[in-house]
Structure 1
Amino acid sequence: MKENPYLIFSLNNSLYGVEALSVEEVFFLPELTPVLDADRYLVGVVNLRGKIIPVIDLLLRLGYRTRNYQLTDSVVVLNWQNQRFGIVAHQVREVQNIAEEEISRRQEFSVRLASPTNLEEEENRLSSSLAEVNTDSSSSFLSGIARLETEIVLLLNLENLLHLEPIQSNLVSELDSQTLAEKELLAERLFAPHATPEEKAIFRQRANHLRQVSESENLTGALPLAVINLNGELLGINLHLIREFTEIERVTPIPCTPERIVGNMNLRGEIVTLIDLRSALNLSLSNARSYSKAMIVEVEDLVAGITIENVRDVTFISPEKVTAVPAALHSTNDEYFQGTAKYCEQIVTILNLPKIFQEGGLIVDEEV
């Protein structure tokens, strides 16, 4: 049985898949530079280590309304027949092998985004949408439907999705030839206009970082970190411990548990306990339980969600650049910190998450 790897990601409440071999890299969404006279779905470009990468909003490309960009959004950079493009993904999940027998192939599809509640009904609805298909093959952006256990994944047809060669070939010259007036006009067409000033600053910092990182930079042995905000503090978490970032929706309180246990949430059928790290880190609880985002982590087979303000970035830090926690920041919980490092002219404190879970009183006896 032949299997092919696909990168799975979400848009709104639907799952999509792209051939993993076409994926070059994934990074958190940076500030994008808009391009005059480009199609609406080509929402801008990013300077990735000196290379101009067009970025498309997949929702707009599929003919749907987009939503406000968030710090947890990502860009998946694809290379298809020597064309490099980025697509905006709301949540990048994992790479999964999908057998050909698990894929329902169609010549063309026209589907609406949905939040599946019954897989059989959803699969039938998607199949029946064939009657609405446009006869122009260039509008077929889906190559098939795959059923993975309890979920439906829509597989993208990259050949049609990335058929933008005329635009890509002119991007660099168009950007270089823009007049000052045109650049000022583009500046007025702000990227993520609904973002807060702090969020806009983070988007811009990400773009600057992607532009400045040298392609030849040796990242061997570097520590991959997710930089998050918690009570205004920048904290670094080992990326290998993080499964995903998600929005906190409905939370079920757990009776007779400490305040640090926020409650349980249903994450696509998996019950995950949400934890507030602030008490373990001696941070203020004045705005307790007000966070709307969670970082799903897996530490020694224990899966939990950690409430956070937002995700700042994903970065790599050389171990040589990690220093001891400054004396001014010393506390009774120093053992929970691996050290500090400079990040975008600021200091990020790197957490020892396994030690926090083991000794921070975060694990509650289920019989309590």
Structure 2
Amino acid sequence: MENTIKVIVFQLHNEQYGVNIQQVRSIEKLLNVTPVPGTADFIKGVINLRGDITPIIDLKDRLQIGKTEYTDHTRVLIINIESIQMGLIVDNATDVLDIEQSIIDAPPEVIGGVTEEYLSGVAKIDDRLLILLDLERILNFQELNEVEKAAAKQL
């Protein structure tokens, strides 16, 4: 089992993405998001998650592949990057899979409209393609600071 990774599978548009389960603290339903003025467009605001002020990012908007239309299936992946807790809005969280590392290929330059700088690889599983995101690369240092400031504005 040491040659496998466990990933959480989620959807953005009609594409399936995966992230290492170790990068995700929890999966939540979308709660009321309080907007924070003066932040980047992809920062939708903050939520109070069990007493923690948590900035919320629209992952489609961040990856520049559109904006999320909120439905009953919309979920928020709660993650930590550089010790900053934040939520990523996704269309749907669908599965947890064990993936053999041997079936993970290097990412192409662009797939599903997402550039390779955000990707850790691509896995072909049965008849579907799973795009693996590297959450550590989703935000640069300046954007991380902006997310942290968005949470601090609400304290």
Measured against the shorter chain, the TM-score band is: 0.7 to 0.9
Aligned match for 1:350, one of 132, 141, 155: 132
Over residues 71-129 of structure 1, what are the superposed CA-to-partner deviations in whole Å (9 max), with x where a residue is unaligned?
Answer: xxxxxxxxxxxxxxxxxxxxxxxxxxxxxxxxxxxxxxxxxxxxxxxxxxxxxxxxxxx
Structure 2 CA distance for partners of 1:327 and 1:355, relative to 1, 3 Å: closer
**Following TM superposition, by how much is the alpha carbon of 1:280 offset from its aligned partner in structure 2, in angstroms?**
3.3
Higher relative contact order (CA 8 A, sep 6+): 2
Structure 1 CA distance, aligned partners of 2:122 and 2:55? 28
TM-score (norm 2): 0.83
Q: Contact 2:7/2:98 (CA < 8 Å) preserved in 1?
A: yes
Q: Work out which of the two has the higher radius of gyration on C-alpha atoms and give 1 or 2.
A: 1
**Following TM superposition, by how much is the alpha carbon of 1:350 offset from its aligned partner in structure 2, in angstroms?**
0.3
Structure 1 CA distance, aligned partners of 2:11 and 2:51? 27
Aligned match for 1:248, one of 13, 16, 30: 30
Q: Does 1:224 align with 2:6?
A: yes
Higher strand share: 2
Structure 2 CA distance, aligned partners of 1:327 and 1:251? 33
TM-score (norm 1): 0.37
Q: Secondary structure at the match of 1:272?
A: strand
Name the structure 2 match of 1:237: 19
Q: Which runs of 5+ in 2 are unaligned?
A: none
Q: Secondary structure at the match of 2:41?
A: coil
Structure 2 CA distance, aligned partners of 1:241 and 1:356? 12
Mean Cα deviation higher: 235-244 or 342-351: 342-351
Name the structure 2 match of 1:366: 149
Structure 1 CA distance, aligned partners of 2:145 and 2:115? 17
Q: Secondary structure at the match of 1:251?
A: coil
Q: Where in structure 2 are the equivalents of 1:162-177 lying within 5 Å?
A: none
Q: Does 1:281 align with 2:46?
A: no
Over residues 309-342 of structure 1, what are the superposed CA-to-partner deviations in whole Å (9 max), with x where a residue is unaligned?
Answer: 1111111112211012246638683111111002
**Following TM superposition, by how much is the alpha carbon of 1:279 offset from its aligned partner in structure 2, in angstroms?**
3.1
Q: Does 1:336 align with 2:131?
A: no
Q: Contact 1:261/1:362 (CA < 8 Å) preserved in 2?
A: no
Q: Secondary structure at the match of 1:366?
A: helix
**Following TM superposition, by how much is the alpha carbon of 1:281 offset from its aligned partner in structure 2, in angstroms?**
2.2
Aligned match for 1:272, one of 54, 60, 77: 54
Structure 1 CA distance, aligned partners of 2:135 and 2:111? 18
Higher helix share: 1
**Following TM superposition, by how much is the alpha carbon of 1:282 offset from its aligned partner in structure 2, in angstroms?**
2.9
Amino acid at match of 1:251: V
Over residues 116-166 of structure 1, what are the superposed CA-to-partner deviations in whole Å (9 max), with x where a residue is unaligned?
Answer: xxxxxxxxxxxxxxxxxxxxxxxxxxxxxxxxxxxxxxxxxxxxxxxxxxx
Aligned match for 2:107, one of 303, 321, 325: 325
What RMSD over aligned residues (CA atoms) do the two structures have, in Å? 2.5
Amino acid at match of 1:290: Y
Structure 2 CA distance for partners of 1:341 and 1:294, relative to 1, 3 Å: same
Amino acid at match of 1:296: I
Q: Contact 1:275/1:362 (CA < 8 Å) preserved in 2?
A: no
**Following TM superposition, by how much is the alpha carbon of 1:366 offset from its aligned partner in structure 2, in angstroms?**
1.9
Structure 1 CA distance, aligned partners of 2:79 and 2:24? 4
Name the structure 2 match of 1:299: 81
Q: Which runs of 5+ in 1 are unaligned?
A: 1-218
Structure 2 CA distance for partners of 1:240 and 1:262, relative to 1, 3 Å: same
Percent same amino acid at aligned positions?
Answer: 27
Name the structure 1 match of 2:70: 290
Structure 2 CA distance for partners of 1:269 and 1:229, relative to 1, 3 Å: same
Q: Secondary structure at the match of 2:139?
A: helix
Q: Secondary structure at the match of 2:105?
A: coil
Structure 2 CA distance, aligned partners of 1:352 and 1:279? 16
Name the structure 2 match of 1:311: 93
Question: Any runs of at least 4 consecutive aligned residues in structure 1 with deviations exceeding 4 A, and if so which?
Answer: none
Q: Secondary structure at the match of 1:254?
A: coil
